[in-house]
């Protein structure tokens, strides 16, 4: 890298004709090396140089022979990532969750299988732990099955207390519309309430 800078400064003092001839000689030697040599190994300083040239030299793609232009663009992006990583403050970001807090979340979710992240979040706030729900869900106990009973189990256990309600219309032969209100018990499929009218109202429905 330092040698290249010295050559660049020396080239500024040479004549245009001499620079053109040296350019032809260097390009010819480069073509010969490309035909006979294997893939060259580039140093970090070489990558940094071409990353800079890609921004300051308008026709840098025409002078590039040893690698593809997409490779140089990838070097440039990687350099910016390293720069912002260096400039970044390592103290920023989410604070790390202590081992004690993670153990507490694990124990609460294990001892209370019906509790979700919102419930554990509320309990932790009461204890003075201010942790977001997504972090709590990350450290909860993973279960293979559902945390509570399934919908089918709930229906089977409460079948005698459930009822089906339907409100539909029936068209008669005299071109009238009848409004039917039906309540059916699910356990025995027994009709609990049945009513028909031509003018339904809120009071009629609640009877």
User: Looking at the predicted structure, is the pLDDT value of residue 92 above 60?
Assistant: no
Residue with the bigger pLDDT between 4 and 190: it is 190
Residue with the bigger pLDDT between 87 and 188: it is 188
Angstrom distance (rounded) from CA 94 to CA 86: 18
Domain-wise residue ranges, the chain: 2-87, 99-138, 154-206
CB 64 within 8 A of CB 50: yes
Give the number of other Cβ atoms within 10 Å of residue 105's Cβ. Answer: 25
Give mean pLDDT, residues 67-94: 74
Q: What is the pLDDT of residue 54?
A: 77
Structure-block tokens of residue 71: 């490779």
User: Looking at the predicted structure, is the pLDDT value of residue 114 above 70?
Assistant: yes
CA separation (Å) from 142 to 104, 108, 110, 146, 196? 15, 13, 9, 10, 53
Q: What is the pLDDT of residue 179?
A: 93
State pTM to two decimals: 0.31
Residue with the bigger pLDDT between 165 and 31: it is 165
H or E element in which residue 179 lies: strand 177-185
Q: Which tens digits make up the pLDDT trace of 154-180?
A: 888 888 888 888 989 998 888 889 999
Give mean pLDDT, residues 106-127: 89
């Amino acid at each position: 890298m330092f040698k290249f800078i010295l050559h660049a400064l020396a080239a500024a003092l040479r004549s245009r004709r001499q620079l053109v001839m040296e350019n032809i000689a260097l390009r010819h030697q480069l073509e010969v090396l490309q035909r006979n040599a294997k893939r060259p190994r580039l140093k970090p300083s070489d990558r940094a140089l071409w990353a800079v040239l890609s921004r300051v030299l308008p026709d840098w793609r025409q002078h590039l022979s040893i690698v593809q232009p997409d490779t140089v663009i990838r070097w440039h992006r990687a350099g910016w990532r390293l720069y912002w990583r260096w400039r970044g403050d390592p103290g920023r970001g989410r604070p790390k969750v202590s081992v004690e807090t993670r153990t507490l979340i694990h124990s609460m979710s294990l001892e209370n299988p019906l509790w979700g992240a919102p419930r554990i979040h509320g309990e932790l706030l009461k204890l003075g732990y201010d942790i977001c729900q997504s972090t709590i869900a990350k450290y909860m106990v993973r279960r293979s099955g559902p945390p509570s009973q399934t919908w089918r189990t709930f229906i089977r256990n409460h079948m005698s207390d459930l009822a089906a309600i339907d409100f539909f219309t029936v068209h008669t032969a005299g071109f009238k519309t009848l409004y039917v209100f039906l309540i059916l018990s699910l356990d025995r499929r027994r009709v609990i309430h049945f009513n028909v009218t031509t003018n339904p109202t809120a009071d009629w429905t609640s009877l």
